[in-house]
Amino acid sequence: MGTPDFAAEVLSRVLDWPHGKVVGVYTQPDRPCGRGQVCRPSPVKRLALERGLPVFQPVNFKAAEAVEELRALAPDLLLVAAYGLILPRSVLDIPRFGPFNVHASLLPKHRGAAPIQRALLAGDRSTGITIMRMEEGLDSGPMLLQRALAIGIEDTAQTLHDELAAMGGEMLCEVMDALRAGTLSQIPQDDGQATYAPKLRKEEGLIDWGGSAAAVHARIRAMTPWPGAYFHLALPGREKPLRVGVLPGRIGEEKPAWAAPGDLVGVTGCEIRMATADRVYALLALHPQGKKPMDGRAFACGYLDSCPEGQAKACSGDGL
């Protein structure tokens, strides 16, 4: 059971496991997406169809028919990764050996929908994968296997996603091996240490230049690739602030004494240099709204040529 790319990678590893057979694949219904709002299958559905597997797409499991359809498959295991639907007790009780879930955090930290991004926002030095036995609580079941992954200073939500997805698939196969060997054990979570990772909102991509350079760097990395980090830049002679999307840059030296957080303090080569609360943050790749992505040099030529030093600064979207 799963829906996005993360789950598709886990499924691909499970399909290579030599000791079992996938009897059915559950994924969310096709959703309209893109400018044309065309319905497209999920990554999990595409992989399942490529491999000739039966696909099921219930809207939810409130209807008895959906539960009975799953029960008719008589699964020994229910394997879940980023499915996106709530599974009631009537579903969790179906598999012979229980429902196992692949969660991209070191539980009990970061229970919920966006553990990778929340780990980056929190400034964590490591994340990881936890395979747990599912229960009705939110990511609260006993842990079957856990493994850490160091977070590098250049890691983004995308790079961690890719590493953790591959890691999760491998670990799930290890858990199934242990189940076959009769050596599988479980450890209860300490609910007192639990933290939560709610779903991201688009507006969380807005950069707060009043924070430290490290916090700015963490936010941009957490929002890459979705929903994307951005800020609004007030420019002399321009009626409305310019919305600028950005990719991760680098933390620079201490900011100039005259610069306030959010001030554009200069352009060096291909770098647009912004002041944070403590240091300069150098932006290397920028995407002005309505234009193509560009490097700092092209951005400076297009928007900053006639702008005196210190006169361009980040602002709220309404220009205040």
What's the pLDDT tens digit per position in 185-212? Answer: 999 999 999 999 999 999 999 999 999 9
**Residue 221 and residue 157 in contact, taking contact as beta carbons nearer than 8 Å:** yes
Residue 268 has pLDDT above 70, yes or no: yes
Report DSSP state, residue 135.
-
Domain with CATH 3.40.50.170 in the chain: 5-197
pLDDT value at position 310? 64
- Look up the pTM and report it: 0.94
Q: What is the pLDDT of residues 234-260, one digit of tens each?
A: 988 888 999 999 999 999 999 999 999
CATH number of 202-303: 3.10.25.10
Report how far residue 300's alpha carbon sits from residue 295's, in angstroms, rounded to the nearest whole number: 9
Q: What is the pLDDT of residues 290-300, one digit of tens each?
A: 999 999 999 99
Mean pLDDT of 48-72: 97
**Residue 200 and residue 112 in contact, taking contact as beta carbons nearer than 8 Å:** no
Q: Name the token pair of 231.
A: 């800020």
**Residue 80 and residue 102 in contact, taking contact as beta carbons nearer than 8 Å:** yes
Tell whether the torsion through CA atoms of 47, 51, 52 and 54 is positive or negative. Answer: negative
Q: Which residues contact 34 (CB under 8 A, 6 or more apart)?
A: 40
Three-class secondary structure of residue 56 per DSSP: strand
Residue 317 has pLDDT above 80, yes or no: no
Domain with CATH 3.10.25.10 in the chain: 202-303
Closest CA to 155 of 126, 115, 113: 126
Report how far residue 124's alpha carbon sits from residue 120's, in angstroms, rounded to the nearest whole number: 6
Torsion angle, CA of 148/154/155/156, rounded to 10 degrees?
Answer: 150
Report how far residue 13's alpha carbon sits from residue 48's, in angstroms, rounded to the nearest whole number: 12
Task: Evaluate whether the domain defined by 5-197 bears CATH number 3.90.1640.10.
Answer: no
Residue 81 has pLDDT above 70, yes or no: yes
Report how far residue 44's alpha carbon sits from residue 22's, in angstroms, rounded to the nearest whole number: 13
